[in-house]
Structure 1
Amino acid sequence: MATAVVRVYQEDWWPFQNLPQALRAFERQTGIATELSWDKVGVGSIETMFEHMVHSFTDDDPPFDLICTDEVMLRRFAAEGRVLALNDPMARDGVDLGDVTAETRRAATLDGAVIGLPCCNVCNLLLYRRDLFDKYDLPVPQTFDEVKSTGLALQAAVRRDGSGEFYAFATRGAGGGGHAVWTIGSFLASYGARWLDDTGAVLPIGDGHRRALATYLDILKAVSPPNQDAISFVELIRDYRRGRVGMILEVGNEYAHLFHDGPALAEKSAVALIPAGPFGRRANLYSPLWSIPAKSKVRREAWELAKYLASSRQLLEDGLKSEAIETSSLSVLYGPEFDRHFRADLLGAVRATRAIAFEERPFGTLGLAACEVIGDAVNAAVSGRLTADEALERIHGGLTTLAGRP
């Protein structure tokens, strides 16, 4: 009889760099063979990752058996019966979701079924050049309005001192299902708006939607690089490293790697909570889940690996070895090992963000297509191809069409 092999798919990203070592340790302990495939993502390449996820849950013979899957995408597959529910093996093996936030549990379940095991909670934070803020005696922005006003002052001061190619702020603005849609979610919620209600129904466009998108576009026009419509997290970090921008809105895992990899720049930088809107701070939440296709031929072995990779012991090791600060495990996040390992301002911001991290993308069962509808329309507004009202009209129409699918 052929030896079972669990084929694993994951994003090739900084916080997951300990995965090959974890798989080797799992093989030694269990005798279960594994095979890892992963891809780097960014503008023009994130679609490859999404395609692998789609095929894993829609093909009769899935290419992968255990996938760290985008939770919005996964809910669509689970609603179609394509995801293995984990309730029974969890009950048998004494595994539960008690060590994660309530919002993470919501992301990991659908109609009472656990559809995957959490491993990370990725959220937006503000990274800024502390040395420049100190030099020009500028306050750290606490609201999105202050991002613009402080940004204008910072941008003018730096340019006056001789740096012509400098912009105060940048964030994700590229189209597709993983860039502009991510950023606009934080703006949207801080202005009291959502794309879908708690039942998954499409909400009408209101004043909150209009104010959120207008604020986002106004900031980008005033203090951001002209190529915002082509920027993903890859370009954000690149431009911050090069000194092209003074503030970015991105996730804590990226900052942890930057601080570890570039100590000189880290000394000039600091981290703060996401700025607030009229309805407070909403950091958005990305909580991909280790999940198993219902048609996998090695479901038992895949469960053993999922359980291993999502354990607090493994998440602690990942955090320390891969700078994976945004772990889903609360006991790991608040443990003394993280206090000793990570910078206090970054760790404090990540911990504080747990209370304001909610699913602000179109969180229902419309799948990744809903994220693409929003991302492409917002990107068109960023590039000037649509007005804000036209973009919102396109979003509402696109989501309504998706909601009408069987």
Structure 2
Amino acid sequence: MKTAYEATAAFARSMDAADPLAPFKNQFHFPQHNGQNSIYFCGNSLGLQAKTVEAAIRQELKDWQDMAVEGYFRAKHPWLYYQYNFSTALAAMMGCSEEEVTVMNTLTVNLHLILQSFYRPGKERCRIIMEAGAFPSDQYAIETLVQLHGLQPDETIVEIHPRAGEKLLRTEDILQTIREQGPSLALVLMGGINYYTGQFYDMPAITAAAHEAGAYAGWDLAHVAGNIPLELHNWDVDFAVWCSYKYLNGGPGAAGGLYVHERFGNDPAFPRLGGWWGNDEKTRFKMEKGFVPRSGAAGWQISTAQVFNMVALKASLELLHQAGIRQLRNKSIALTGYLEYLLQQLPLPCEIITPADPQQRGAQLSLFFPENGKAIHTKMMEQGIICDYREPGVIRLAPAPMYCSFTDVFRLYEVLRNFSV
């Protein structure tokens, strides 16, 4: 049922009072503006710090101080097995088994590593489909990947553009492009949510179409992880990567995530680049040559777990798991819907280009300003509205449901209502 919103402070307070997730707001630190919490709508870029992070880091520092190398075995959270701390929470978010997911490296490093397994071009089947305007790092990764194979990016990479006069991709156009490429297609790689428009793509349909064409389907879930519940295993997704510093609140440069479907993870003959941490634990300390991969996504790990780059993520995931991804999604739909409703009450010189259908977006609305977008963003920041700007002309507002409230959204409305642009 669609909520009947009202542009009043009393309505916002009533929604917060009925919100079972409201107490989590007090578990995070907010930047301050004029002595009060900023309006923080930038969780799609960098999530807030959980208040439990400081103690969690102190614990690891203390264990390092007291135990040194023995911390791998005797620390409160033994470092030798540190990556397992994330399996339960991430499996619930991503819709997969605990073996199909792991934490390691960072997003683009993981993308490069996993592409060595899933992109092996042949004479005919060599093309890669991606959305035009994908996040630059993905574009760079694919461009350099095909060059490493001696191929020309302009001939190998097929970019799908919106129709003339439109800013969003139509699912039917994506599926048609996949069918047209047919036997020449090796891989479909897309962002689950487009960082610029905020559009959430139809992952099950696109994955199925890629498989029907004989290609692999992989996803960059940087803007999806912790934002929208997924069913990666049931959707038959081959692989996915994501970062942990947006909706997962893992901190700047936090370790990234990797999902690999069990049909590949449980196949030791499936090609990958090996490393000591990806070797079978039963033989790892024999120190012998001959790589024997661990089962599951962990078989793609390369190096020792980055404990101090993972500890903030561990602290945040404990809170996120308590909240529950589906409860977060329910609040997100209502919260983003309220933001949309209030923005529509204002005479702002902009267009909301994110899909109006809540099922086609997450906790983000992209406001396209034909003129003066950067200047307007600067003025918003000066008023204590922390959001971000992306060329050309888009201000992104992302009320993360873990720590944003309906009152926060109404405060934004009050600021913008008296805002001369």
TM-score where L is the length of structure 1 = 0.30
- Determine which structure has the larger helix proportion and give its number: 1
Structure of higher CA gyration radius: 2
Bigger relative contact order (CA 8 A; separation at least 6): 1
